[in-house]
Structure formats: C-alpha cells, structure tokens
Amino acid sequence: MSTVNIPRLDLNTYINGSAEERKAFSDSIGKAFNETGFVTITNHGLSKELIDNLYTQVKALFALPEEVKNKYEIPDLAGQRGYTGKNKETAKGFKVPDLKEFWQIGQTVTGDVPEEADYPDNIVVAELPEFNTTTLEVYKKLESAGKYLLRAIAVYLGLNENYFDDKVENGNSILRTLHYFPITDPDALPHDAVRAGAHEDINLITLLIGASADGLELLTRENKWFPVKAFGEDLVVNVGDMLQRLTNNKLKSTTHRVVNPPREEMKNSRFSVPFFLHPKSNMDLTSLPSTIDAEHPKLYTDITAGEYLDERLREIGLKK
C-alpha cells in the first residue's frame, strides 16, 4: 500500500449517489484522512468561470498600491478580516515570517442569532466592488461543500451524519486570498525564508481551490516531503488540528508547506485561495469517546474551538 494516499473523489456521488456510492465516498475520505490527511475533490459546486473570475479579482486586489492596501489593515482584528501585509505571519516554530500578504473574509451571519455579535464585519474593498461579491459567492459555495464533506466524515467516525451541522452553521470560517509576492533578490533572503513554513492548519478542514496548488507539499509518515497536485479546478482538502483533536489523532492533521519556486521563477507571483472551515467558538473539541481506548489513550486536554483558535493566533504572531 502506498503511504501517500491522496484519492480524487467526486463530491456529487456523496450528495446525490446511491447508498453504496455514499458509503464508498465516506470510507475513501476517512481512509485518506487517516493515512495522509489529504484528498482532492471534484464536482464541488464551483464552476470554472467562477474560479477564473475569483483569481482575476484576487490579482487585482494585490496589484493595488501599497498605500491603498495598507488602509485596509486593522491590527485589532488580528488578521481575521481585511488586509495583512508582508512579513506579518510566522509559522509556529519559525523565526522568519512567511513570504506572503493576504486578505481575509469571514462569516456573514443571517438572522437573529447569537453569533451576529461574535464576528467583526467584513471589510469592503471600495476600489474593487466585484472582488467583494465574488469572494462572498465563493465563501458560501465552499462552506456548503465543506458541510457535505463533514457529513461524510461523521459517517466514517460512526456519528450521526448531521453531527457537525449545527456546529458549523454560522461558524467562524475564513476565506483567505493569498499573494506570494515576487522574490526580486533571492540572495538577500534569510536562508530559511519560504513562502509558507511547515505548519498544520488550525481549523476542522481546509478547502483549497486547486488552480494555484503548485508548490504545496505534505510531510509523509516516512518524514519525506511529497508534492500535492490538483487536477484542473479540483479542490485540495486537508484535515486541520481541530478535527485531529476531536478524533484523538484518528484523522491526521498533516504538516505541509509552500516551497519557494526554482530560482528562475522567483520573480513570478503565486496566488492561492484556501477556505478554513471553522465551527462556532463554543464547539467542544474534547476527543470523542469512540476514539479513545487502551491502545489509543486520550492525547489532548479539553478545550473549545474559540479557546484553541485564540491560542494558535498568538503562536503565529497575528494576535498579541
């Protein structure tokens, strides 16, 4: 058996398939998340036209003058909304910041619900109205796809299929648009400066629009780096630390990174759009009893999603 199990799965077979197809999907994603923590997903609800337009808008955003982008950076928001400039986020355990800048869009709460007071408003880019509408549409479609993926995971874990539904409804999810900026003078970089240092994601699952996946690598159980490739407009989906804690390491939050390109390509920008699917802050991440036994003792202290997020944001330098 290959130790790098990254299957390409069709989400439509889970949403609209037969009982056998749905079970096969659930078994496949669970097996991959147990072994490598990564899958790629097709038929996820985002059209090629929408993805192409998204990247057009993202490139336009980061092409804005520095003084325009800087007016959208609000330190009190800890990078959770709007713009975060260069050299601000550092992977846990690293001393040199990642070579990137980014913009974050959060939940838009509808209805009279408690979460409305929990989340800051999204920041509107006055110069690019289509950026605002396009990213909101992408957010909602990725949120929907993520809910179905979590249902498949719940079935794999022997839980009620809808176990995660009320925990992620109006959850604290983030759509991040990333610009790995050109490296004009490679010789001037610190030797360990990279586009994204080796890290694990904080959330339940991450959905990355695969059009910009080149450069992404995961660390195998044999401690070797393996490139993650996506086909066309597929999503790359991986387990985050919250799901790993909840499952007492049954599902694997795999270390991954974004490597610098070959020297001759360093002058080129790289763009990426991950969606970090978070639950509500009050979700209990206490490990499920079904994942704890004599051979698998409980590994983590009890904590809520909100407490864990706060702890991690401080570790990576976004929150003081």
Give the CA-trace dihedral at 169, 273, 32, 18, to 10 degrees.
60
**Residues ≥6 apart with Cβ < 8 Å to 58:** 131, 177, 179, 271, 273
Sign of CA dihedral 214, 215, 216, 222: positive
Helix (H, G, I), strand (E, B) or coil at 237: strand
Say whether pLDDT at 26 is over 60: yes
CATH number for the domain formed by residue range(s) 8-315:
2.60.120.330
**Whole-number pLDDT of residue 58:** 97
Say whether pLDDT at 39 is over 90: yes
Using the structure block, give the residue that is written with the tokens 């996506």: 230
Cα 273 to chain centroid distance, Å, stands at: 8
Using the structure block, give the residue that is written with the tokens 């050299």: 87
**Whole-number pLDDT of residue 68:** 97
- Average pLDDT, stretch 103-120? 84
Using the structure block, give the residue that is written with the tokens 């202290």: 301
Distance (Å, rounded) from C-alpha 56 to C-alpha 50? 10
Contact 261, 182 (CB under 8 A): no
pTM: 0.93
3-state secondary structure 88-139: CCCCCCCCCCCCCEEEEECCCCCCCCHHHHCCCCCCCCCCCHHHHHHHHHHH
Tell me: the pLDDT tens digits for 69-100?
A: 999 999 888 889 999 999 888 877 788 888 89
**Whole-number pLDDT of residue 231:** 84
Tell me: the pLDDT tens digits for 192-248?
A: 777 878 899 999 999 999 655 578 899 998 899 999 888 889 999 999 999 999 999
First to last CA, the chain: 45
Contact 175, 181 (CB under 8 A): no
Domain ranges of the chain: 8-315
